[in-house]
Chains A and B, each alone.
Chain A
Amino acid sequence: MAADNSTVVASPAVPGAWAWLGQAVLYALFATVIGVFSQWPTYQHLQPGVALIKLSLVHTGKLVGDCRQRSAEELAALPPNMRAASSCPRERSPVIVELDIDGVSAVRAEAAPSGLSRDGASAIYARLPVDAGDRLIAVRMKDDVRSDGFDYRIERHVSLQPAQVLVIDFDAEAGGITLR
């Protein structure tokens, strides 16, 4: 005879009207949380009337020392495949950049050369929100520890529109520091 199990565990109650209503409220709440926070409140990334200057450049500084010619004795001591006539230091100069906006210093950054031997490029990245309008931008860059003063300069009046991005970069082929 099969056992009657109906009394061992109480049958689950059939959901009534209030239960269905409760379920509806529960999922409506879930939808509300997702629906609201997936779109609201609006995020104001940049205030109205503000533009953005991005100072971003990647540049390999000059060698920290001069190359020198190897003597005949030195060359002879080297393996044949390594007998380069000149010997140059690997380390590069750090790159120093200064940015003035309307004559006021806004950024002064010094970037060390990358790499374990400090023989790679230096990279600088900075973002500066500024009020839109006419601005005097002055940028100076130094990439040689052996030189005095800055090796590259640019000074220009720009008219910045709200939300406009002005990129300050370095392009050797274009003659140095660029504003675009």
Chain B
Amino acid sequence: MLQPLANNYALKVWRSIEQSLDRIGGPDLNPLRQLGALAILAFTLLVVSGIWLYAVLDTSATGAYQSIESLSSSRWSVGGLMRSTHRYAADAIVVITALHLLRELLHGRWRHFRRFSWLTGCVLLPLMAASAIGGFWLNWDQLGQFSAVATAELLDAWPLLAQPLARNFLANSAVSDRLFSLFVFVHLGVALLSLLGLWLHLQRISRPVVLPRRAVILAVLGTLVVLSLLLPITSQGPADLAQVPTELSFDWILLGVHPLMYATSAGFTWSLVLGVGAVLLLLPFLRSGRSALTRPPIAVVDPANCNGCARCFADCPYAAVTMTAHPDGRPESMLAQVDSDLCASCGICAGACPSSTPFRSTRELVSGIDMPQLPVSALRDELAQSLTGSRSAKPIVLFACREGAAIAGMVSTDVVGMPLLCSGQLAPSFVDFALRDGAAGVLVASCRDGGCEFRLGARWTLERLTSKREPHLRTRVSRDRVQLVFADKGEEAVLHAALDAMRSRIGATAADAASMTC
């Protein structure tokens, strides 16, 4: 039912927008490639500005309005700036989270090893909404009054309490300091729960990116500060329960649920909210096609070839590898162990393993950790056969991630295509092996950082090929004959251009060599 989403038109549109933004500043400055980190940045801003606001807030029903209003005495006051930034950061986190959810939804990232992250992310949504709405009540102005009454009337649709919550807002005298303490709890207590939820959300991934690139941080901060100065948030008159707020300057991003309820009914609103929530929560469990049910094989450890170096443990993007005592019984000897629930079947661990080198002279090449569907031995055999059988004496070998730009149209007489589960599956020694076995050059195609299906494949590939991470490309390998190119699905033109550039470079090098020989 929802499986086609992964390849549908909406995803193509999303990718084209994302790739368009790459062109204005590069992928590193593309906010769509770091939405999760941007949401955490907005949350951090909320915490910092919130602490400031809480310090000056009079948490009483009679004093709250005045204490917040005094902050906005001047557009340029720090308090006013903090107040406006707090609100705009809350708006920003909703917009960013919605985009984050949409992106993951379009990519079909909710099942198998991603199930836990998906479900915890879904649970964060109502917590975020509750905390955001509760924040309006603390500034007990007409908007806060409207929101508090509307929320009470929405909750009263459930006959859970002996008397309707809305009775707390029948008269000004009914709003006591005790009720105000509840407001504080809803806003701050639920925000703290969100923090716990965020921690859980990041538990099943290793090396989570919790903050965007510095330039993006500065851009977002600058945007919110400028917005706060140009369009400061102000109160809309003190709350008065004897009157109904009639015309309100309204935050549709955070409070949109209230007009929806009054335009329809509390029952309809709950049905819509719970229906959407149920679909999101059930997605990981829905049967949506054969491919959704069949998990690709997970990484397998061979104790005889695992030396316990822990590189796979360090490189696994989903913390699926742990180190345990080796069954050989030698003290301090460790063995990698794969958690089948967490394994993404990306093969990054195989690329990290020092025993994944094709130069090993063992009769049968077996790596310490490997992917059954594409083991290093099969990769070596296929590479050797392709080079031998190539009609070109000096072909270019194209190692390419299956999740990235499609290489089907690029394999030709002078190009040998070697698809990988992820570019991170490639042990750098394969590049050396290809060049020594007759390749004129090696092009490694990876998804862009921030677009990698398995999060860290692009990053590890770059670091390994530039000798910043083990296993690294040997120094004897001529860097002129090796090229790493980043191209997501839909960016086949980038790969084509890189291939043409390599052909030219190799041709020029060959011509230089020929002229020197003459």
Contacts and interface: CB of A to CB of B under 8 A. Distances in A.
A117 B153 CA distance: 26
A46 B28 contact: no
A152 B71 CA distance: 50
Interface residues of A, number: 57
Interface in A21-55: 22-23, 26-28, 30-31, 33-35, 37-48, 50-52, 54
Interface stretch (A71-79, A102-110, A162-170): A162-170
Interface string B14-35: 0000000101111011010000
Interface residues of B, number: 64
A3 B479 contact: yes
A12 B486 CA distance: 11
Given A18-B24, A39-B251, A43-B248, A164 B170 contact: no
Contacts of B477: 3
B25 A125 contact: no
B248 A42 contact: yes
B462 A123 contact: no
A31 B243 CA distance: 34
A3 B467 contact: yes
A39 B146 contact: no
A8 B95 contact: no
Nearest to A127: B153
Nearest to A15: B25
A23 B170 contact: no
A45 B260 CA distance: 11
B430 to A, nearest CB: 14
A19 interface: yes
A163 B247 CA distance: 10
B88 A164 contact: no
Interface of A: 1-10, 12-13, 15, 18-20, 22-23, 26-28, 30-31, 33-35, 37-48, 50-52, 54, 56, 58, 114, 120-121, 123, 125, 127, 162-165, 167, 169, 180
Given A3-B475, A12-B28, A45-B244, 10 more contacts: A8-B482, A22-B23, A42-B249, A45-B146, A45-B248, A47-B246, A52-B244, A123-B164, A163-B245, A163-B246
18 contacts: A1-B475, A5-B466, A7-B483, A9-B465, A9-B483, A10-B483, A22-B24, A27-B220, A38-B251, A39-B231, A41-B252, A44-B247, A46-B244, A47-B246, A56-B166, A121-B162, A164-B242, A165-B244
* Smallest CB-CB A-B distances: 10 pairs: A22-B24, A43-B250, A5-B466, A125-B164, A3-B475, A58-B163, A9-B484, A46-B246, A27-B223, A7-B479
